[in-house]
């Protein structure tokens, strides 16, 4: 009986040892530097959470995109984001994130409310961005985490989605998922201001008189 118990324990230890390298291979921190691959515009494809209370906030966003770029300050990146809520309302804004090692620290001010976030990025598929977002309370304690998978186009191969689910499991997220769609909020940075439109109109009207 004792021999059988020893064999069983050894088998269990072997299984645990075999599964551990899988997560080590699946979840590798992404190095953030001046040529960071996180730069550019990204569309949210799927997200998950580790606390049930966080679900309602994420599923309220039908679509989401973020544009990440370098700033003039060393160790700081700029994030321009836009969320479409309940198919109608669009929220968008800009925030600066400081880089500390493998972590970004970002303060968002949305409708007068301030929220603090720590971000981590992991290696993932080509043209994809895998981001872990820890929401911080004012005292610095964690309220919970999200895991987001963004792509350049919003599309994702089924095999890449399965890899994401395995990565989420390794990082101890719940096996529940919210998928974004491609009905995005327009980028108001690309909308000409009324002053610019008036100037263009005046120039167009003046062209015939100049001949």
Domain boundaries, the chain: 40-186
What pLDDT was estimated at residue 192? 61
The residue among 159, 175, 97, 93 whose CA lies nearest residue 125 is 159
CATH architecture of 40-186: Beta Barrel (2.40)
Say if pTM beats, i.e. exceeds, 0.75: yes
Question: For residue range 107-117, what is the model confidence (pLDDT) as tens digits?
Answer: 998 877 889 99
Using left for φ > 0, alpha for ψ between -120 and 50, and beta otherwise, residue 135 falls in: beta
Residue 96 pairs in a beta bridge with 78
Question: For residue range 174-197, what is the model confidence (pLDDT) as tens digits?
Answer: 999 999 998 999 998 876 655 444
Residue 201: pLDDT band (50, 70, 90) is: very low
Range of lowest pLDDT (41-45, 61-65, 74-78, 130-134): 74-78
Q: What percent of the chain has pLDDT over 70?
A: 78
């Amino acid at each position: 009986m004792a021999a059988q118990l020893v064999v069983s324990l050894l088998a269990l230890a072997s299984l645990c040892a075999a599964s551990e390298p899988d997560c080590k291979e699946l979840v590798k921190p992404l190095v953030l530097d001046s040529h960071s691959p996180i730069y550019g515009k990204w569309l949210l494809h799927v997200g998950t959470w580790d606390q049930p209370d966080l679900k309602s906030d994420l599923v309220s966003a039908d679509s989401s995109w973020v544009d990440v770029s370098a700033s003039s300050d060393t160790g700081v990146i700029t994030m321009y984001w836009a969320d479409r809520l309940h198919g109608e309302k669009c929220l968008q804004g800009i925030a600066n994130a400081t880089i500390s090692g493998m972590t970004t620290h970002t303060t968002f001010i949305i409708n007068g409310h301030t929220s603090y976030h720590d971000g981590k990025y992991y290696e993932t598929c080509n043209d994809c961005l895998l981001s872990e977002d820890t929401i911080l309370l004012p005292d610095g304690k964690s309220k919970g985490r999200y895991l987001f998978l963004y792509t350049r186009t919003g599309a994702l191969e089924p095999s890449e989605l399965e890899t994401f689910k395995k990565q989420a499991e390794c990082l101890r997220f719940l096996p529940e998922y919210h998928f974004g769609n491609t009905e995005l909020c327009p980028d108001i940075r690309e909308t000409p201001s009324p002053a610019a439109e008036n100037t263009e109109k005046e120039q167009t009207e003046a062209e015939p008189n100049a001949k």
